[in-house]
Amino acid sequence: MTWQKLREIIDDVKEKFQENVEREIYVEKKIAKIIVKKESIIEVARYLRDTHRFDHVKGVTGVDLSRLKEGGGPYIELLYHLGSLEDQELDDVILNLSVMLDIENPIVSSLCSIWPSVELHEREVYDMLGVIFNGHPKLERILLPEYWMDIPPLRKEYKVPGRE
């Protein structure tokens, strides 16, 4: 039932934001993802929060797509895993709001003003993949040591010492 509702939400977002939605991936029980343009992420996020009651973010994931053979490219994909605690109909689904960033210059607006729960998750993505979040209140290292000088470790070009 709720997966159908998720389908309707995705269609609604597509209709509202037209060309700002690049594409969507919807495989029932597996993944539901909307990929939006970088410039419009704040508007889409605000719309999802206010209209569709996605009230918290479970986590933020960054994926370095540069070595992915199919569908890859010089991008970092950023995913916000959204959920709703208030809306009973949405409690068994996760909507992924995604944005593609250029790997050479990964800068995006922070969503801290929309969902305060993303603050530490965005710091982690900054730490692990070097994504810069504009407007983040405290963009500092969180898991890595403060003296870390190497490239961000979850980038594919980072090799774990002794493993390769």
Partner 1 sequence: MMLEEKKKIEVYDMGGPRLTFSYGPQHPGTGHFRMTVTVSGDTIVDLEPDPGFVHRGKEKMAEYKTWITNIPHLERPAILDAAGMVIPYCLTVEKLMEVEIPERAKYLRTIVAELDRIASHLYWFSLYGVFLGHTTMFLWCVNDREFILDLSQLITGQRFTHAYYIPGGVRNDAPKQVPKELIKEFKYYYSRMIGREPSQEELSEDFKKYVLAVAHFMELRLDHYYEMFFNSEIFLERVRNIGVLKREDAIRLGVTGTTLRASGVKYDTRVNDPYDAYPFLNFEIPVRDEGDCYARAMVGYQEIRESLKIIRQAVEQMPEGPFKLKQHPLVIKVPKGEAVGRAEAARGEILYYIVSDGTDKPYRLRMITPSFRLLPALKHLTVGARLADIPPIYWSLNYWPVEADR
Specify the residue for token string 């939605």: 21
Applying CB under 8 A, the residues found at the interface with partner 1 are: 25, 27, 29-31, 33, 55-59, 61, 63-64, 67-70, 79, 81, 85-86, 91-94, 96, 112-113, 115-117, 119-121, 124, 128, 137-138, 141-145, 153-154, 158, 160, 163
- Which is nearer to partner 1, 16 or 143 (by Cβ)? 143
Listed in order, strand segments (DSSP E) in the chain are 21-27, 31-36, 56-64, 75-83, 95-102, 107-109, 132-134
- Which is nearer to partner 1, 31 or 107 (by Cβ)? 31
Bridge partners of 108, per DSSP, are 133
d(CA 1, CA 8): 11
Are the CB atoms for 77 and 100 separated by under 8 Å?
yes
Specify the residue for token string 């389908």: 7
* DSSP designation for 99: E
Specify the residue for token string 């419009």: 40
- Which is nearer to partner 1, 18 or 156 (by Cβ)? 156
Three-state secondary structure of 29-65:
CCEEEEEECHHHHHHHHHHHHHHHCCCEEEEEEEEEC
CB of 95 to partner 1, least distance (A): 10
CB of 18 to partner 1, least distance (A): 25
CB of 102 to partner 1, least distance (A): 18
- Which is nearer to partner 1, 67 or 149 (by Cβ)? 67
- Which is nearer to partner 1, 44 or 60 (by Cβ)? 60
